[in-house]
Structure 1
Amino acid sequence: MRTPGSRARGARPTPPSKLRSTLWLIISGAIVIWAVWQVGARWERVGQIFTEAPRYVGLMGQGLVENPFAMPWSEYWSKSLTLMIESLQMAWIGTLIGAVLSFPVSFLAASNTAPRPVVLVTRQVLNIIRAVPEIVLALVFMIPVFGFGPLAGAMALGVGSIGTLGKLSSEAIEGIDTGPVEALQATGASKVRILRWAVLPQVLPEIVAFWLYRFEINIRAGAILGIVGAGGIGSILKQLFDGREWERIGITLVVIIVVTVIVDQISAKVRERIISGPGAASKATIPEPVAD
């Protein structure tokens, strides 16, 4: 017999109230609308993007259809390629500096390899480094010391890389399998031997992949540093935009895009090989044997 107020067997429970989620959705939407209104953007000009952009693309494309082996176009291509190679060199040196300096720091920032006070201080230092853009590092610290040129840009990229690489590497160290560590501790191995034989083999492939990823980021960052006189292809971009030389701007942008895409593809293949191992691709294509 059903008692008053009892629920019939099999009846669906009362769904929870959606009032709170609805209120939060309304408040969030109101905040977004208010923020868009406060930006003060000229929304009536949005349509000009579709009319002006093709015109500028056409102006930049005029240099691409010219004979790259005839003067002065051959000089433009040569100059852009030379400065892009300089940007690659800056990015590579900056990545090496960041990798070498961040590698020991990452162990000091990991909670399972360093005392807590050391971890807290090291993490704050890494946070401060990550908070400062590379262009500020170049303007405030590197150019006054090393002068204008690619060396200042490479040093700025190197210091900026320490913050990111140190954080990512410390997180990889904290995520290791503790089994090998406990096994070596049971044998009475020293702290250095535990790091060498239990921690390092687990995290090194991932850390190297972080280094390669940071190299890709430094290529893009290095192209901007030239605007403030820190070397690289950004130095010529500023001059070209100031002079409205759209044909040369098109050539320079194509060089930047093509070289960056090629480096990204090569770096992605190397990272995949490091993380997955040499036989990962072949193992993935071999079908499993079917039992009789």
Structure 2
Amino acid sequence: MSAEHTGRPAPPSKVRTTIGMIVVALVVIFAVSQIDARWERLPELVTVLPQYAGLMVEGILRNPFTEPASADWTSAVRYTLESVQMAWIGTLIGAVISFPIAFLAARNTAPIGVVLVVRQILNAIRAVPELILAIAIMMPIFGFGPLAGALALGVGAVGTLGKLSSEAIEGIDPGPVEAAKAVGATKLQTLRWGVVPQVLPEMVAFWLYRFEINIRASAILGVLGAGGVGAILKQLFDKREWERIGITLLVIILVTILIDQVSAAVRHRIISGPAARGVKRSERTVETEGLMG
């Protein structure tokens, strides 16, 4: 039966959807065809990858308390901690600089003219990858080493943290701000007591999340000579020392997982507050009163 007899509306045409899918498929096929890849070597992955993985596992399973395995583990830990230090310093730089900038980029705390200018500056910073900052600016000034990498991470973090923090400021509850103004607070006092307490927990969560991102980015910067674990990984890959590569990768994975778990727990504690602890305390109080009764 037709749609007129059943009273149901006619189903939408699928012609546009089909044409769109065909166009996307053609674009993907064209893009793949333009890649200068050696597709004939793809089957070699079946034999090469297990071989390399076996060499890396062999290095990991060596006794870490004997030479030269102990020196390999020590080197991997030292370079990984250097990357963590780079990420931490970069995060501190980004947090300190982005904190006041965020208030200048929020519409409810700064004039619209200032907001537009500051937001464009933040957009420009976010548009430049940390790799370019390190190669074009930091390394020519500070040379090779972790300092250039940490500064590149710090400048790169300003754009992201400034944007996220300004959006958090714009989403605050206006009640405390109006109350502060009602009692005659100055502009600075209003920001201190009406805005900062509301946005600081969320800002700290942003800083911690950026720290996790910087840890990964520091490894990439190290390949360029900016210090950290990326520098030693580049040397190991050049020399094809797969045993040491396996040890270094395992240390990176373990340290990253540990930091991610700790950072996630801290972020959750900051955002959620002490509610869970309060509930447990109230439950213990009820149990105590029951026993006393």
What range describes the TM-score normalised by the shorter chain of this pair? 0.7 to 0.9
2:248 alignment partner AA: T
**Using the alignment, how far apart are the partners of 2:14 and 2:110 within structure 1?**
47
Please, which moves more after superposition, 7-16 or 104-113?
Answer: 7-16
The CA deviation at 1:246 is 0.9
Instruction: For 1:256-275, list aligned pairs within 5 A.
Output: 256-275=252-271
Match of 1:171 in 2: 167
**Using the alignment, how far apart are the partners of 1:172 and 1:210 within structure 2?**
10
**Using the alignment, how far apart are the partners of 1:282 and 1:38 within structure 2?**
61
Please, which moves more after superposition, 23-32 or 136-145?
Answer: 23-32
Match of 1:105 in 2: 101
The CA deviation at 1:159 is 0.9
**Using the alignment, how far apart are the partners of 1:105 and 1:88 within structure 2?**
25
**Using the alignment, how far apart are the partners of 1:191 and 1:91 within structure 2?**
34
Match of 2:202 in 1: 206
Match of 1:230 in 2: 226
Q: Displaced runs of 4+ in structure 1, greater than 6 A?
A: 7-10
Instruction: For 1:13-24, list aligned pairs within 5 A.
Output: 13-24=9-20
Change (3 A) 1:48 1:8: closer
Say whether residues 1:216 and 2:227 are aligned partners. Answer: no
The CA deviation at 1:243 is 0.8
CA RMSD of aligned residues (A): 2.5
Please, which moves more after superposition, 215-224 or 94-103?
Answer: 215-224
Say whether residues 1:33 and 2:29 are aligned partners. Answer: yes
5+ long unaligned stretches in structure 2? 284-293
The CA deviation at 1:10 is 8.2
**Using the alignment, how far apart are the partners of 2:43 and 2:163 within structure 1?**
43
Change (3 A) 1:121 1:276: same
Match of 1:136 in 2: 132
The CA deviation at 1:282 is 6.6
**Using the alignment, how far apart are the partners of 1:140 and 1:73 within structure 2?**
38
Say whether residues 1:83 and 2:79 are aligned partners. Answer: yes
Change (3 A) 1:181 1:81: same
Change (3 A) 1:16 1:184: farther
The CA deviation at 1:227 is 1.8
> Structure 1-normalised TM-score?
0.87
The CA deviation at 1:43 is 4.0
The CA deviation at 1:181 is 2.8
> Structure 2-normalised TM-score?
0.87
2:141 alignment partner AA: V
Deviations 1:229-260 (A, max 9, x none): 21111111111111111111111111111111
Match of 1:278 in 2: 274
**Using the alignment, how far apart are the partners of 1:190 and 1:122 within structure 2?**
23
Match of 1:242 in 2: 238
Matched residues, number: 281
Q: 2:190 aligns with which of 180, 185, 194?
A: 194
Q: 1:155 aligns with which of 151, 161, 165?
A: 151
Identity over aligned pairs, percent: 65
Match of 1:116 in 2: 112
